[in-house]
């Protein structure tokens, strides 16, 4: 006789029962490991559909569950540093159903954003801000006599920035009721910056440390009282650079390190910490990419991923198109080529070796490569010190990160007329990463600095040429180039410079002259073909080609400036100023990024939104002519002249 095998009851995922942290806190503690597993699986699925930051989120799944389980969010404040690790947080805070819109136009932001959710207590994008923000919230809660807790979650890479330690120092002085969680996954973005624990281990094992220690022994061993004092001092100094004692000495109650993937331990620890008064510091150790083997093995490569596309049928395979190099790769190759020619060249990056493509340079010129960690201010002043000694430092930095070193750029480099070249990556809008990472302001904040050279190459060839021009220039210089690939114009791989401050006419037309700054030249050329306009590739914002500008202004009815930078104070403003100074009156349209933040969308959509594509440029010109001659319904473009 056969017994009927009972049918397995359908399994209802716990994640389907948890739309918000209040529902999460309604679960039994024994159910949380299952929820964490489902959350990790859902994160793998959702980011595979949309692309985005990946490895960091996988590493904090258990921590995210534990935090929302123990703390009464959003009344209690969670402040995520950078935001790379906040995707699990978004899923658990009423946004799981719209995760498919992540990093898309009108969808979820790539980082925590205050107007997106009350659970996003602080908008982030740049690193090392969480402790300062959480401290501000904790102090305000005390002033208002509100019983809420504030938690800052910061990665070990972000702990390399001075701002984090400034906040820790102040928090201890204020004796604020707050918790700082150090997520030590031995990874920032670049491996060689490393985890805090490895960094400290290197200090303890360094030749310098042992040389000082042995030298002290030899000198003081014959004087017992002095040697005993030195021995105690040595132990104290050693303790100062071990994480626990370091933060204890700074005024925090240090707890850890503990396993950041041990959910019961996290729950138990956070439950105890929440009841403690004063500044607390919890050190957890996690694995970036936890639960996804490729990300665990290659945390750099899986820091962020693009959308996973289904494989095409082999029978319908399209012929492979030749890959165009990214602008960052153009820079990386130029850096190696110039380093081979000039031994004074030194390369500096604030923890962006991979992003700025200094990988090959770091391998070939190890002694001339300097990764300063997430410390943009230090990167700029380090370069200034090197330039004082006759070297030619090149600072490879994203436009959005250069903002953090602006005081040093003025005070330490420009005022002292030092030879520092700034290779400014991700200039202009950056698509899905949104306004926190957009390089919209560098033209405006650079051109107001006396003697600063500001160059805007239109393609790959000009990028190489202008990098050489800036490197050979005596004084501070900058070259800005966008994210992604260029038009495929790389032909000249020499190290020849171009004439300083010299633009060129790339198309001759009539009535309208379009002055293009940078890679928007392609849109300008397309628009000009339809309306038979003149196009000038201006190349230099500062020094500007005033001879070319005056020539165009006196031979055309209308000038149109086009730049992928903010209109206010940008290259178009520079044109207006030069014309006024020369006493020339001519109508000018300034096309650029308007006075608002451009939200996440594809780069193509962002250009269209700002009127920086060919259609937008043509529409701006048509509106102007329509306004001048109201009797005509539409501007009649002149027929292009045949050559």
Strand order in the sheet with 453-455: 369-371, 345-349, 392-398, 421-425, 477-480, 453-455, 540-542
Q: Which two tokens stand for residue 351?
A: 């923890």
**Burial of 234: CB neighbours in 10 Å, binned 0-12, 13-18, 19+:** middle
Phi–psi pair at 254, nearest 5 degrees: -85, 135
Dist. CA 457–CA 479, nearest whole Å: 7
Q: Which residues contact 409 (CB under 8 A, 6 or more apart)?
A: 380, 402, 422, 449, 476
Cβ count near 179 (within 10 Å): 26
Task: From the candidates 40, 113, 149, 288, give the one annotated as an active-site residue.
Answer: 288
Dist. CA 141–CA 137, nearest whole Å: 6
Helix (H) or strand (E) holding 339, with range, is helix 327-341
Phi–psi pair at 416, nearest 5 degrees: -95, 5
| Preceding omega of 257 cis (within 30 degrees of 0) | yes
Q: What is the DSSP letter of 26?
A: T
Q: Which two tokens stand for residue 329?
A: 């790769």
535: β partners: 507, 514
Angle at 390 between CA 389 and CA 394, to 5 degrees: 105
For strands 421-425 and 392-398, give the pairing: parallel
Dist. CA 13–CA 632, nearest whole Å: 65
Q: Which two tokens stand for residue 413?
A: 């480099």
CB 273 within 8 A of CB 150: no
376 assigned to active site? yes
Greatest CA separation found in the chain? 106
CB 45 within 8 A of CB 307: no
Sign of CA dihedral 480, 380, 167, 374: positive
CB 139 within 8 A of CB 145: no
User: Alpha carbon 104 to chain centroid distance?
Assistant: 18
Residue 9 Rama label (left phi>0; alpha psi -120 to 50; beta): beta
105 assigned to active site? no
Task: From the candidates 77, 353, 368, 404, give the one annotated as an active-site residue.
Answer: 404
Q: Which residues contact 119 (CB under 8 A, 6 or more apart)?
A: 21, 73, 74, 78, 89, 93, 94
Q: What is the DSSP letter of 336?
A: H
Dist. CA 539–CA 534, nearest whole Å: 16
182: β partners: 154, 283
Task: From the candidates 40, 95, 376, 426, give the one annotated as an active-site residue.
Answer: 376
Q: Which two tokens stand for residue 503?
A: 């633009």
Dist. CA 112–CA 78, nearest whole Å: 11
User: Alpha carbon 499 to chain centroid distance?
Assistant: 32
Which residues are the active-site residues? 288, 376, 404
């Amino acid at each position: 006789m056969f017994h009927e095998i009972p049918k397995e009851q359908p399994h209802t995922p716990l994640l389907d029962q948890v739309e918000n942290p209040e529902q999460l806190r309604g679960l039994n503690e024994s159910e949380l490991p299952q929820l964490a597993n489902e959350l990790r699986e859902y994160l793998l699925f959702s980011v595979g559909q949309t692309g985005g930051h990946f490895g960091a989120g996988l590493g904090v799944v258990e921590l995210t569950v534990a935090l929302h389980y123990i703390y009464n969010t959003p009344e209690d404040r969670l402040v995520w540093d950078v935001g790379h690790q906040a995707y699990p947080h978004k899923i658990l805070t009423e946004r799981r159903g719209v995760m498919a819109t992540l990093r898309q136009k009108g969808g979820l932001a790539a980082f925590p954003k205050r107007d997106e959710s009350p659970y996003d207590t602080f908008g982030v994008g740049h690193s090392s801000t969480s402790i300062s923000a959480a401290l501000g919230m904790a102090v305000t809660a005390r002033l208002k006599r509100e019983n809420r807790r504030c938690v800052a979650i910061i990665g070990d890479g972000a702990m390399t920035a001075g701002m984090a330690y400034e906040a820790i120092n102040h928090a201890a002085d204020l004796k604020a009721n707050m918790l700082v969680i150090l997520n030590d996954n031995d990874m920032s973005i670049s491996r060689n910056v490393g985890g805090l624990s490895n960094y400290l281990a290197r200090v303890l094992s360094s030749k310098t440390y042992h040389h000082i220690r042995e030298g002290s022994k030899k000198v003081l061993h014959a004087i017992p009282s002095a040697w005993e004092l030195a021995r105690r001092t040595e132990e104290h100094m050693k303790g100062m650079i071990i994480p626990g004692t370091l933060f204890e000495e700074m005024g925090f109650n240090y707890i850890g390190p503990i396993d950041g993937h041990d959910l019961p331990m996290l729950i138990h620890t956070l439950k105890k910490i929440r009841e403690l008064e004063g500044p607390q510091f919890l050190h957890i150790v996690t694995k970036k990419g936890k639960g996804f083997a490729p990300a665990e093995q290659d945390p750099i490569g899986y820091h962020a991923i693009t959308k996973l596309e289904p494989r095409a049928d082999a029978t319908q395979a399209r012929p492979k198109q030749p890959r165009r190099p990214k602008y960052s790769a153009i820079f990386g190759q130029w850096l190696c080529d110039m380093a081979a020619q000039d031994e004074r060249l030194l390369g500096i990056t604030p923890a962006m070796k991979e992003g700025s493509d200094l990988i090959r340079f770091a391998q070939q010129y190890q002694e001339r490569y300097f990764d300063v960690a997430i410390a943009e201010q230090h990167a700029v002043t380090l370069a200034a010190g090197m330039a004082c000694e006759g070297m030619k430092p090149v600072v490879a930095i994203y436009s959005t990160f250069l903002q953090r070193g602006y005081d040093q750029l003025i005070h330490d480099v420009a005022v002292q007329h030092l030879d520092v070249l700034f290779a400014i990556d991700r200039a202009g809008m950056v698509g899905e990463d949104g306004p926190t990472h957009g390089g919209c302001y560098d033209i405006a904040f650079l051109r107001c600095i006396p003697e600063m050279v500001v160059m805007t190459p239109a393609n790959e060839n000009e990028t190489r040429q202008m990098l050489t021009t800036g490197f050979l220039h005596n004084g501070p210089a900058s070259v800005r180039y966008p994210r992604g690939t260029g038009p495929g114009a790389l032909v000249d791989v020499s190290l020849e410079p171009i004439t300083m401050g010299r633009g060129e006419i790339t198309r001759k037309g009539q009535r309208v002259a379009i002055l293009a700054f940078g890679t928007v030249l392609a849109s300008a050329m397309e628009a000009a073909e339809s309306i038979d306009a003149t196009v000038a590739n201006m190349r230099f914002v500062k020094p500007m080609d005033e001879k070319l500008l005056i020539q165009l202004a006196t031979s055309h009815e209308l000038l149109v400036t086009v730049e992928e930078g903010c209109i206010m104070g940008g290259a178009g403003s520079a044109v207006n100023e030069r014309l006024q100074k020369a006493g020339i009156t001519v109508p000018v349209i300034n096309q650029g990024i308007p006075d608002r933040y451009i939200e996440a969308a594809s780069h193509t959509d962002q250009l269209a939104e700002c009127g920086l594509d060919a259609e937008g440029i043509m529409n701006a010109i048509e509106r102007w002519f329509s306004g001048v001659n109201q009797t005509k319904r539409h501007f009649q473009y002149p027929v292009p002249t045949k050559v």
